[in-house]
Amino acid sequence: MKSVIELISERIGLAIDKATDQKASAAIVTPATDAKFGDYQSNGAFAVAKQLKTNPRQLAEKVVAALQIDDICLPPEIAGAGFINLRLKPQFVTDRLVGISSDENLGIEKAERPQRVVVDFSGPNIAKQMHVGHLRSTILGDAICRMLELAGHTVIRQNHIGDWGTQFGMLIAYLRELYAEKLEQPDVVSISDLEQFYKNAKAWCDKDPNFAEDARKEVVKLHNNNKDTLRVWGEFVKASRKHYQPIYDTLGINLNESNERGESFYRDKLADVVNDLKKAGLAKESDGAICVFPEGFKTKEGEPLPFIIQKSDGAFLYATTDLAALRYRVNELKADRIIYVTDARQKLHFEMLFAVAKTAGWTDDKIKLDHITFGSVLGEDGKPLKTRSGENVKLKELLDEAVKRAKAVVEEKNPELSGDEKEKIANAVGIGAVKYADYSNNRTSDYIFSFDKMLAMEGNTAPYMQYAYARIKSIDRKAKERGIDTEKELKNIKRLSLAESAELALAKHLIRYSEAFNSATADFKPNFLTSYLYELAQKFSTFYNACPVLDASDEIRPSRLLLCKITSQIIRHGLKNLLGIKTIERM
Ligand code: ARG
């Protein structure tokens, strides 16, 4: 099903073509900013008039005369200097609504040409706990995957974990020195111990060159596939996995071991990357290191900027691994598109990566490469969120705290619920609140992390949305108590009545779900979706206050029940299917 805005755009585009003897004119249709002016507005005539240097208002009149849209809209109106205002016909709204109600995707359209899309997200570093800095990549990446899957694409999730770096050399050298027994039983070392050992090891490296040299030798052993070193390393990876898998599960993130393609996966492909770039004449030695100088990248001083792929001691780098990963994704995974989700600080890295891969001919214009960035999570003081002692906030602790606070709210509001039920609600609300707060902020901006705000029952928050959902579900329960068979009424529905303005306004918003989906997907901005859902909950509230549902006459009740049903379906679909946030039947 095409979205309403697409349908209208097509018609207006054709009318502009007719009126101007042009082809494929842009209709520029947007939702109206104020319901006073209608439901949609087109600036198309205005824009074309500027191009053709004619009077926009006269052109708009010609466009309206050529416009065939009376199956969708009431007679269009021209406003201001040449805008065309459009108002949907109630009959059209009714027909759409019926269409949506029988569509499992609630009007969301599948892509015409499904693609194979690799999404690289989360990518925690082994032997360290996940911290708040991993929150956005993890949940944004997951939402991107869900959106693409819903649009019918084949999504290949790749967790590019940092499991091959110098940290292992330090860790192993440290243990060899102080806790040799742990190397015999590396499987019992916990993630928090590992993290502490790593910190100590790093501090030691910084002040003792001899130890630093030991650590370097351990990395070399690892990179040369020394059996014993690999065994210890493997256990550390396992310990890390034991830490982050439960976090993914708690957050409702579809990632597991099968999606893992860590840095180590590419270890035997790195030498080829360097050799192939050398053979192609693209990689050169510079100050002992092997570098590529992609065109157009300059240092502050105006010198060519190097993309370093091998250090003078022979070690490969983050960049080398990413080049190998890109080749693998194109050649083996057959990606049509690769999406990387990391914070904005890696912007330059990915720009250079894409430039080098293109120049080397490892990818071409048919393959779309995207770096989807995001801003930082800030504390209430407006600075990057840290603990009091200045450390990164551990993701697990943050999530535990959210659930704990949600539980206190549930205790207070619903003391009569069973312990199990309270637990379930607290989980859904606490985790949902953290995720929703993140999604509802424009991903490119920083945002302030506030438990109080995200757990508030009022405003654009998860608890508000979850409550709105539970409230609609309670109508079903009340109906049952009163002996009203809602299923049957919905099945035998004869006529939809949208006579009340609140009914019509709600219905018009319901049929725009696919529009919200399309705008959220266009640039992967889930905040378009949360805004839509929030507005939906508000429109529902207005409707519910103005229009009795169960107390309505037998004539009208089925129609109102249908509005309730589609509203709850869309809220659930948006929260659960697109954002991976749990809904609750009773709250
Ligand atoms: N491990 C990296 C980090 O913590 C993220 C990996 C992103 N993906 C990639 N292909 N470079 O920053």
Q: What is the pLDDT of residues 378-394, one digit of tens each?
A: 999 999 999 888 888 99
Q: What is the C-alpha separation between 508 and 191, in angstroms, rounded?
A: 52
For 104-108, 388-392, 555-559, which range has the lowest pLDDT when averaged over its residues?
A: 388-392
User: Are 555 and 497 a contacting pair, CB within 8 Å?
Assistant: yes
DSSP structural state of residue 108 = P
The band of 422, judged by pLDDT with boundaries at 50, 70 and 90, is very high
Terminal CA-CA length for the chain? 34
Residue 520, number of CB atoms within 10 A of its CB: 24
Residues contacting 174, CB < 8 A, separation 6+: 197, 198, 200, 201, 204, 215
Residues of the chain above pLDDT 70, percent: 100
Q: What is the pLDDT of residues 474-516, one digit of tens each?
A: 999 999 999 999 999 999 998 898 999 999 999 999 999 999 9
The pair of three-digit structure tokens given for residue 375, joined into one six-digit string = 């801003």
pLDDT of residue 95: 94
Homologous superfamily of 423-587 in CATH? Isoleucyl-tRNA Synthetase; Domain 1 (1.10.730.10)
Closest approach atom of ligand 1 to CA 342: 7
Q: What is the pLDDT of residues 23-72, one digit of tens each?
A: 888 899 999 988 889 999 999 888 888 888 999 999 999 999 999 999 99
User: Which residue's CA is the closest to the ligand 1 atom numbered 9?
Assistant: 160
* CA 107 from centroid of its chain's CA atoms: 20
| Average pLDDT for 539-564 | 96
The DSSP element (H or E) to which 157 belongs, if any, is: strand 154-158
| Average pLDDT for 267-271 | 96
Closest approach atom of ligand 1 to CA 134: 4
User: Are 309 and 273 a contacting pair, CB within 8 Å?
Assistant: yes
The band of 166, judged by pLDDT with boundaries at 50, 70 and 90, is confident
Q: Kindly report the CATH number that applies to the domain delimited by 4-88.
A: 3.30.1360.70
pLDDT of residue 5: 96
341 CA distance to ligand 1 middle (Å) = 8
Q: Using a 6 Å cutoff on CB, does residue 463 contact ligand 1?
A: no
Closest approach atom of ligand 1 to CA 161: 1
pLDDT of residue 336: 98
209 CA distance to ligand 1 middle (Å) = 28
Stretch(es) of the chain classified as CATH 1.10.730.10:
423-587
Q: Long-range contacts made by residues 199-207, C-beta under 8 angstroms, separation at least 24?
A: 200/174, 201/170, 201/171, 201/173, 201/174, 202/167, 202/170, 204/170, 204/174, 205/170
Q: What is the C-alpha separation between 139 and 437, in angstroms, rounded?
A: 11
User: Are 466 and 428 a contacting pair, CB within 8 Å?
Assistant: yes
| Average pLDDT for 253-259 | 97
Q: Rg of the chain over CA atoms, in angstroms?
A: 28
| Average pLDDT for 253-260 | 97
Q: Using a 6 Å cutoff on CB, does residue 558 contact ligand 1?
A: no
pLDDT of residue 490: 94
The band of 184, judged by pLDDT with boundaries at 50, 70 and 90, is confident
Amino acid occupying residue 568: S
pLDDT of residue 495: 85
User: Are 186 and 127 a contacting pair, CB within 8 Å?
Assistant: no
Higher pLDDT, 81 or 542: 542
Q: What is the pLDDT of residues 185-239, one digit of tens each?
A: 877 788 999 999 999 999 999 999 999 999 999 988 998 889 989 999 998 999 9
pLDDT of residue 399: 97
The DSSP element (H or E) to which 319 belongs, if any, is: helix 318-331
For 28-42, 178-192, 327-341, 429-443, which range has the lowest pLDDT when averaged over its residues?
A: 178-192
Q: Using a 6 Å cutoff on CB, does residue 265 contact ligand 1?
A: no
User: Are 384 and 536 a contacting pair, CB within 8 Å?
Assistant: no
| Average pLDDT for 396-416 | 94
pLDDT of residue 182: 83
pLDDT of residue 508: 97
pLDDT of residue 179: 87
133 CA distance to ligand 1 middle (Å) = 11
Residues of the chain above pLDDT 90, percent: 85
Closest approach atom of ligand 1 to CA 322: 10
* Maximum distance among all Cα pairs of the chain, rounded to whole angstroms: 87
pLDDT of residue 47: 85
pLDDT of residue 158: 98
- Mean pLDDT, the chain, as a whole number? 94
- Looking up tokens 């009545």 gives 497
182 CA distance to ligand 1 middle (Å) = 29
User: Are 464 and 458 a contacting pair, CB within 8 Å?
Assistant: yes
Q: What is the pTM of this model?
A: 0.95
pLDDT of residue 587: 84
Stretch(es) of the chain classified as CATH 3.30.1360.70:
4-88
Q: What is the C-alpha separation between 10 and 481, in angstroms, rounded?
A: 48
User: Which residue's CA is the closest to the ligand 1 atom numbered 11?
Assistant: 322
| Average pLDDT for 536-558 | 96
Residue 291, number of CB atoms within 10 A of its CB: 20
Closest approach atom of ligand 1 to CA 162: 1
pLDDT of residue 241: 94
Residues contacting 281, CB < 8 A, separation 6+: none
Q: What is the C-alpha separation between 544 and 99, in angstroms, rounded?
A: 23
